[in-house]
Structure 1
Amino acid sequence: MIRSTNAEDYQRIATPVAAMPKDFPAGHHIPPHRHERGQLLYATQGVMRIGTAQGTWMVPPQRALWIPPQTEHEIHMSGAVAMRTLYIAPRAARHLPRDCQVIDVSPLLRALILAAMEEPVEYPRGSRGEAIAKLLLHELRAVPALPLHLPMPQEPRLQKVCQKILHSLGRDADIESLAAGAGLSSRSLARLFQRETGMGFAAWRQQARLAEALTQLSGGKPVALVAADLGYASPAAFTAMFRKSLGTTPSRYFGTARNSGSISA
């Protein structure tokens, strides 16, 4: 069954859930755009980095990102990406989150997404396709969000500080020197971080490092090299941070063992 890979062909159809498979080469960039429908972005392979006005979301394999209707976003592919997208009509998305959220894809949810790709785009009432769509919507309402969001501030001075951090994630620049460079006191900078991002300075930097780590690990870079690149004293220290943030080790998170030097990644 041949399906369109043009997102516009899925926006005004009658069915509440429409499934579109599309593959992208490494490094592909989809510029800022929006859809009438909500969008569940899921990749069976590769990592996606999605940016909106509210921040950046990292979406590794076996995770998905919910994007509400009419949310402007852009997508960067890290590695070759096999994207499987669900477009959900606004009326069917009323009970789904109003903000972007990364979610865990359970075996059942994964099976439902892939099964939806096999059904006609405009499935008839009472069909298997309709039953799959209903169960998908039911499952999505109950899935908890994962901490893979890097909120970006709107305050100009804090934006410059954040960009400086992002361009030198391997350095442990202290808050005093960053504040001085922005013409702020360290106390004012700390208040701005909390007000604009909902996170403290150290937590935001760690989240930025985690996002970069996911990108590098998805490309097969060994844990030991990722740890060194991001300024961790040892692979063990990096793995401890990763486990604390995501509840498991890098190799288990990606479902495959990586060469990590002296530890089990």
Structure 2
Amino acid sequence: MLWEPIDAPPGLGPPKPITVRAQTIPARGYFAEHAHRWHQIVYATSGVLTVAVEGRSFVISPEQAVWLPTGVRHRVGSLLGAQFRSLWVADEAGHDVAERPTVFAVQPLLRALILEAVALEDATDDGGYAGRVTALILDQFRRARPLPGALPWPREGPLVGLCEALYADPADARGPEEWGRELGLSARTLARRCEADIGMSLRSWRRCLRLFKSVELMGGGLSVTETAMQLGYGSTSAFVYAFRIGLGTSPQAYMREQVSGPPGR
């Protein structure tokens, strides 16, 4: 199934200091590679986004946002569809947030501010409220926790189909030999492609995928046990152990933090 390009809405001028765009991205829809004369915050209130920037590609969930500095070429899409929220930030207003493309953790306050900015986009600002919301959004990004990375994603080639299939069914247990036969590659060639295209082995990527999907599934209301089964773990305890190893805390504690924010913040 092919990906379909999406046209950007016409008539959007430079941000003063922030312009907010709310848009639904259909499954396998994408904005072709482009750049802006201003910064951009890439975020989804639901669903996941695929972001390609600076020779790498990754996916982010609603617990993450990407800061794209002025002039950085990028491409944004969604494999399964997403509610896209794009914030354009004037060059001067966001000059001290981050110098390079950065993935940030989105805590409840920042999410609420983004949603409020969307609601205020076409409203008059007689009392200066919208300006204060804008200032708080930028302050939150200055204080937000940069993440070491998001789930890496191949930009092109045979691994795209493999990663899409595993994303749709993370319980798929096929290993390099089976996937190599599926893609017409030897297991050794597939291993080399994984290292070159996503920077890790298929086994490591699958582990990252399961962690990523677990947050998405639990955020959508699934219990820990239901999530473990969806991801293909043999037991709930095996999933909890893998989650602790990967994220340093239990699934329950992690989701509580997503609701309330980290201690001391």
Task: Using structure 2 for the length normalisation, give the TM-score.
Answer: 0.66
Provide the rounded CA distance (Å) in 1 between the counterparts of 2:147 and 2:164. 24
Q: Cα deviation per residue 1:90-141 (whole Å; 9 max; x = unaligned)?
A: 454444354362x2234654565466457676988x9554454345334424
Contact 1:193 1:199 in 2 (8 A): yes
1:228 match: secondary structure: helix
In 2, are the aligned partners of 1:51 and 1:57 still within 8 Å (CA)? Answer: yes
1:170-196 CA deviation, whole Å, 9 max, x = no partner? 13323244345532243x433332222
Structure 2: distance between partners of 1:220 and 1:194: 34
Q: Is the 8 A contact 2:59 2:153 kept in 1?
A: no
Distance 1:66 1:238 in 2: 31
Q: 1:174 is matched by which residue type in structure 2?
A: G
The residue type paired with residue 32 of structure 1 is Y
SS at match of 1:220: coil
CA contact (8 A) 1:10 1:87 kept: no
C-alpha separation in 1, matches of 2:28 and 2:177: 37
* 1:31 equivalent in structure 2: 29
What are the residue-to-residue correspondences of 1:64-143 with 2, within 5 Å? 64-67=65-68, 71-75=74-78, 76-77=80-81, 85-95=86-96, 96=98, 98-99=100-101, 101=103, 103-106=104-107, 109-110=110-111, 112-113=113-114, 116=117, 127=128, 129-143=130-144
2-side partners of 1:154 and 1:117: how far apart? Answer: 30
**TM-superposition CA deviations, 1:142-181 (whole Å, max 9, x none):** 4333367222224634344434544552133232443455
Give the drift of 1:89.
Answer: 2.8
Count of equivalent residues: 239
Note the C-alpha offset of 1:203: 1.4
1:209 correspondence with 2:223:
no
Mark the runs of 5 or more structure 2 residues left unpaired by the alignment. Answer: 1-7, 258-265
* Secondary structure class of the residue paired with 2:228: helix
Where structure 1 has 5 or more consecutive residues not aligned to the other structure, the ranges are 1-6, 257-265
1:10–1:246 CA distance, 2 compared to 1 (3 A): farther
Identity value in percent = 26
